[in-house]
Structure 1
């Protein structure tokens, strides 16, 4: 005697909230999503401001409004340009976070830096959505910790310190941890995706490639919806085989 089973319903389409810092990043992301023909009701892109506090406030507001309207977001992506740690993430490349880390949230002592979680006052690290690895592979992106800082690195000494404390770090930016905190508070999975405009290290504005990084951001978000759709379909079938 065979047992029949009713196929599980297909997963609902991803409803995406992308949080950037400034208008140029927002517009670059929106151009990529438009090129991918992403329906307007399935993705929203906002420029919440620079730094983790502004990012957290903007993300939390957008998530709360969507929930109140009975059309909640199912994935939040912190996105924009940032510094890359050579040689893992050279200028013009894409980086996806394996961990979203508040790199300067803690206390500096004579014996070194102590992060907030080791002090027992909270957390300084978020694990992103499991599909982050698949997205990184499909985008050909560097995959490793992305560091959130309130003061951008401008010296070789600081870059070396961050690399030592966070082995495998691929990029630094200023908003990811704030976005992740807000997403966690609302129970929504989070990712961080950065394109690299400059190397983390001595400040050299002449070496920055902001236009190149913004173009890479558009290209990455042109590919992202398909990557998310493929992974959602994979999870659906493997979860109900």
Structure 2
């Protein structure tokens, strides 16, 4: 049996994770941007490992993210209680309707629009990273870029601490494989109106390297 599989969106995130690792059994792989490619690539990695007789023990989606202002600081570390498909659903005059409230059979939704982190894995990470902000991490296909959309997301998900683009896809792949899942992020920017001058990529990558030391 193999160890832990850590998937990131881009190579720079994978390099930051590898720089902090102390456990040689942890595998780190960049898989691409967005929930669709993240889910498909993770499922393929898990299937190949199982077919080779070396299945992974657990899966972590890791990388940088946008943080909800007032809920997590720039450069801070985030642990997901659940990974949420925040824009999977329908618009209506009354507001956004999540897809699991549209009357579809549950078996067609891959576990619903939110996949909880494995309690044991999340508990171990919380113990190892006591200063991390803990809450929902939203997965979106379109990054939030206005004050109005930020406010709407915050209202719909009062427990949300960050927004990224892959966690839900990875979570569904892990759930389909019957493996524990967690999502670990570090914050490079506040979500909302895009201001590249306010982004702190260096700080976020440094925080990701520091956090990776607990992955084992």
Matches within 5 A, 1:78-93: 78-93=61-76
Residue 18 of structure 2 corresponds to residue 30 of structure 1: yes
Long gaps (5+) in structure 1 = 1-11, 226-241
Runs of 4+ in 1 over 6 A off after TM superposition: none
CA distance in 1, matches of 2:128, 2:162: 18
Distance 1:155 1:133, change over 3 A: farther
Residue 112 of structure 2 corresponds to residue 129 of structure 1: no
Question: How far does residue 116 in structure 1 lie from its aligned partner after superposition?
Answer: 1.1
CA distance in 2, matches of 1:120, 1:71: 39
Residue 200 of structure 2 corresponds to residue 217 of structure 1: no
Question: How far does residue 142 in structure 1 lie from its aligned partner after superposition?
Answer: 0.3
| Alignment-derived partner of residue 194 in structure 2 | 203
Residue 37 of structure 2 corresponds to residue 54 of structure 1: yes
CA distance in 2, matches of 1:156, 1:90: 18
Question: How far does residue 221 in structure 1 lie from its aligned partner after superposition?
Answer: 0.5
| SS class of match (2:213) | helix
| SS class of match (2:14) | helix
Q: Kindly name which structure, 1 or 2, has the bigger radius of gyration based on alpha carbons.
A: 1
| Alignment-derived partner of residue 150 in structure 2 | 159
CA distance in 2, matches of 1:17, 1:134: 16
Length-normalised TM-score, structure 2: 0.93
Instruction: Spell out, residue by residue over 1:195-235, the C-alpha distance to the aligned partner (whole angstroms, 9 max, x if none).
Output: 0000011110000011110110000001233xxxxxxxxxx
| Alignment-derived partner of residue 87 in structure 2 | 104
RMSD, aligned α-carbons: 1.3
| Alignment-derived partner of residue 18 in structure 1 | 6
| SS class of match (1:58) | helix
Verify the 8 A CA contact 2:125 2:214 in the aligned structure 1: no
| Corresponding residue pairs, total | 208
| SS class of match (1:49) | coil
CA distance in 2, matches of 1:129, 1:160: 29
Q: Which is bigger in relative contact order (C-alpha 8 A, separation at least 6)?
A: 2
Which structure has greater helix proportion?
A: 1
Residue 108 of structure 2 corresponds to residue 120 of structure 1: no
